Amino acid sequence: MLPKLIIHGGFFSESSTSAAVKQAKQAALKRIALEAHRYLNTHSAFETAVFAVSLLEDDPLFNAGTGSQIQSDGRIRMSAAVMDGESQRFSGVINLEKVKNPILVAEKLFPEDDRVLGGEGAQRFAREKGFPAYNPETPQRRTEYKAKVAANRKGTVGCVALDAKGRIAAATSTGGKGFERVGRISDSATVAGNYASKHCGVSCTGVGEDIVSGAVATKIVTRVSDGFDLQQAMAKTFEELTPYDGFAGAIAIDFKGNIAHLDSHPTMVWAHTDGEVTVAFD
């Protein structure tokens, strides 16, 4: 099996329509996709999905980890999850504060009995596992918050990887939509926004409430498992968002190595690579 991966960095329209921002995001996605693919050559799909998302979390261009959105009370709360298609195990953190890489905390939960933690429990677990206190706020996010500017509102990052043994994994991380009510839960640490099986893996971005209503990631994976072509599974699932004008984007890889991406409202930013050819959003 030829190792492949696809990553996304949320929606381009969330941040700026400037050519400079577009070029910066294209360059960042290509760089991260290539670095993650080199990692994939010697690591599993699960390990690579986590690694790729941690790189995206470290780049302040994206709304996850460093550069996450600020909520209505002036605090940053982040969510992340990872799922291994081989073992069908899922782990995640919801509304986690003051860590650099939420996806790495989600990874640490993977072997635990209690694998999805939120709020204070998630933060306590992170400290127990040695993750130091970290402020993910950037000056841009503080300026946006103070001015109550609704930019960067639909941002998430994610990765779906297929390794040389045919294993699939998906990982997703978000800094939220910005200015949301305290206690809101996004789709990123649920199976609606992040799901994988032996047949397919999916990571989503967009409006969490719409993605949960559409059970987007789970539906796509289930349809591929039931025999749908990947593109057909994506199209059918996104058709079902139409009645309520659902705002969503998704990236996916199936067990045959097919790669797909689709959004209901342009433009989701993404990049995919097999190590030889790397493509980023236009």
Mean model confidence pLDDT for the chain:
93
Mean pLDDT of 224-252: 97
Dist CA 176 CA 185 (whole Å): 9
The residues with which 9 forms a beta bridge, in sequence order, are none
Asked if 281 and 267 touch (Cβ cutoff 8 Å), the reply is yes
Residue 82 has which token pair?
Answer: 């990872």
Contacts of 163 (CB under 8 A, 6+ apart): 1, 3, 40, 43, 44, 45, 48
Domain ranges (residues) in the chain: 4-280
CA 249 to chain CA centroid, nearest Å:
10
The model's pTM is: 0.94
Run of H or E including 142: helix 139-147
Domain 4-280 sits in CATH 3.30.930.10: no
The full DSSP string for 198-229 is SSEEEEEEE-HHHHHHHTHHHHHHHHHHTT--
**In this structure, are residues 237 and 40 in contact, taking their beta carbons and an 8 Å threshold?**
no
Structure tokens at 211: 């993605």
Strands 116-118 and 89-96: parallel
Distance CA 244, CA 213 (A): 10
Say whether 273 is catalytic.
no
List beta partners, residue 89.
Answer: 84
Choose the catalytic residue: 17, 42, 143, 156: 156
Q: β-pairing, 157-162 with 116-118?
A: unpaired
- 36-86 pLDDT tens trace: 999 999 999 999 999 999 999 999 999 999 999 999 899 999 999 999 999
What type of residue is 166? G
158-176 per-position pLDDT tens digit: 999 999 999 999 999 999 8
